[in-house]
Structure 1
Amino acid sequence: MWLPWSSSRAPSNSPQANNERSFPEDLRFQQAEQDVVHLGRAWGELTQLSSAGYALLAFGASALLYTGWLAHRKWDPVYSRYFKRIRRHYEVPDSYIKEKRYMKGIVTSVPDGDGFSFLHTPGPGWRWPLKFRRLPYVGPKGSSEVMRMRMAAVDAPEVGKGETEGQPFSAESQKWLESQVLGRTIYCQLLKRESQYGRMIVLPFLPRRFIPWWFTGNRGTNLSEEIIRRGWAFVYESTAGEFPHPEKREGYLTLMAEAQKAKVGMWKHGTSLETPAQYKKRTKQGIPPETTDSDSDENEEEASWFRRSLKRVFRSH
């Protein structure tokens, strides 16, 4: 018969309850004793090893250390070539330029029509679904981990600085390049280190969207050729200009001649434009821009009207 005051559980102050509370502590004590016994047996077995056993252990430890050292030596070149991120343009090794290696990265800003800022992103892991590497933050003022790149073989109209007015079509050239590469992944073939500003002179390629380059062997659209073909840049004809191959100079000049003939881009009003080299020389000397043909025609018309007015005045007298 069950009674309200009856219970199968012993009171908290009973000897049975005290035994139940002390039972886990006994188990822990027994486990500690067993661990001490096992450790003593293992140490005893180790001390009973023969000289051959010690030699075998030493050989195994040496083999393990050598394997780790060799793996590090072999992995370091692989990591440096395919996974190590170069943060600044002056950190690019000379061996990379000598071998004309390709660098993969994201364009973060485009200040003019022939240069851009480049964030190196080697190897996989930068994009989903296999994203395990994090890009550095690039704020409105840029970042200390971007590389300054200059496009090879082209010379875009100069953008104005401060109170100096830029060349005509400089904004259009900059906007065209920005629409092609800003925020996108491109490949840059390293050609030369610029001596004056330290920038890297590169040949940029815009990869295909769906076909990987290793499948076709083609890195994509050559942006140096494309900007000349669209009529937004001159060919860098100076001896300091860098071309991927000397024989390609004529090819770039041919592309510019075709753009001038088609009147595309900045050639839509004619070919008598001031080159960036002429602009730099003129602004350095403080010479104002030359008067255009339309301005000279207006001046001639004003002068002829003044002469005709004088003739009428003298005839009236």
Structure 2
Amino acid sequence: MATTAASSTSFLSSKLPAIPAAAEPYIITSTVFGLVTAMGFFYRRRLRRIPSSAYLTPNTLQGKRILKGKVTSVGDSDNFRFYHTPGGVWAGWGWLRHVPKNSKELKNQTLHIRIAGVDAPEGAHFGMPAQPFSHESLEWLRKELLGKTVVVKPFSKDRYERVVSMAWYPRLLPFLPKKNVSVEMLKVGYGQIYRQAGSEYGGMLQEFEKVEANAK
């Protein structure tokens, strides 16, 4: 049996074309270049941290990417600050690398996320009084998101350089599907569907309308 196997290997080897010695350096160079290119693509796609909206490319927007990170602050009822942690625990986040905690370290290091598809009551600003239930809506969003690890799907940037995104956050049991922030806000009645031109719904408008009708 061993003799037969050796004969077969010898036969196959004799049928394979020999690689010219002069071509070997080119083959090695091409292989190395391919590996480096693949690693670079993987880094840009999976491990490169996006510190602010200025670093978002067209491919990152339009719902083509999912970004994972931590909510560092919630300043209004329909938006929050997001610190991108690409690769999660596998890239060292939480044990080798840590999300900054003070405002000085966080400056220019977060994405300002505008929650897609919903419009929440506005707090008092620019000389305008607060809208009804703005405080309750803000407190609900802080309770649900602040300090938690969430995933966002960016669609576009608005005129304030906020990143309009669909967002999901974990349930009490981590193995259950994540909650959609827009859906949950509509469900509890602290927001309504955003109907302005150019609104982003991520293909979920019908679900939003059903949830909003039930809440009413």
Structure 1 length as normaliser, TM-score?
0.55
The structure with the largest alpha-carbon Rg is 1
The aligned residue for residue 255 of structure 1 is 211
Higher strand share: 2
Structure 1 match to 2:146: 182
Supply the AA of the counterpart residue of 2:91.
G
Give the number of the structure with larger relative contact order, counting CA–CA contacts within 8 Å between residues 6 or more apart: 2
Indicate yes or no: 2:47 matched with 1:70. no
Instruction: State whether structure 2 residue 201 is matched by structure 1 residue 237.
Output: no
Q: Distance in 2 between matches of 1:254 and 1:209?
A: 25
**1:59/1:132 Cα in 2 relative to 1: closer, same or farther (>3 Å)?**
farther
Instruction: Map Cα deviations across residues 48-82 of structure 1 (whole Å, 9 max, x no partner).
Output: xxxxxxxx8x9887766555433221100101111
CA contact (8 A) 1:136 1:145 kept: no
CA contact (8 A) 1:205 1:221 kept: yes
User: Per the alignment, do residues 127 and 199 of structure 1 end up closer, same or farther by CA in structure 2, a change over 3 Å counting?
Assistant: same
Matches of 2:50 and 2:99 in 1, distance apart? 12
Distance 2:172 2:27 in 1: 47
Q: Given the superposition, is the C-alpha separation of residues 134 and 238 from structure 1 closer, same or farther in structure 2, using an over 3 Å criterion? A: same
Distance 1:99 1:227, change over 3 A: closer
- 5+ long unaligned stretches in structure 1: 1-55, 261-317
CA contact (8 A) 2:67 2:84 kept: yes
Q: How many residues align?
A: 195
Q: Following TM superposition, by how much is the alpha carbon of 1:223 offset from its aligned partner in structure 2, in angstroms?
A: 1.0
Equivalence for 1:90: 54
Give the AA of the match of 1:188. Answer: V
TM-score (norm 2): 0.78
Change (3 A) 1:184 1:201: same
Residue type of the alignment partner of 1:226: E
Contact in 1 for aligned 2:79/2:114 (Cα 8 Å): yes
On the 8 A contact 2:85/2:93 being kept in 1, the answer is no
Task: Tell me, yes or no, if the aligned pair for 1:187 and 1:207 is still in contact at 8 Å.
Answer: no
Structure 2: distance between partners of 1:232 and 1:98 = 26
CA contact (8 A) 2:71 2:150 kept: yes
3-state SS, counterpart of residue 164 of structure 2: strand
Q: Structure 2 vs 1, CA of residues 142 and 84 (structure 1 numbering), >3 Å: closer, same or farther?
A: closer
Give aligned-pair identity as a percent: 28
Partner of 2:117: 153
Cα RMSD of the aligned pairs, angstroms, is 2.6
Q: Distance in 2 between matches of 1:259 and 1:99?
A: 27
**8 Å contact kept, 2:63–2:153:** no
Rounded Cα–Cα distance in structure 1 between residues aligned with 2:63 and 2:200:
15
- Pairing partner for 2:168 from 205, 210, 235: 205
Match of residue 273 from structure 1: none
Change (3 A) 1:187 1:96: same
Name the SS for the 1:255 alignment partner.
Answer: helix
**Structure 1 residue 132, shift from structure 2 partner:** 2.5
The residue type paired with residue 85 of structure 2 is T
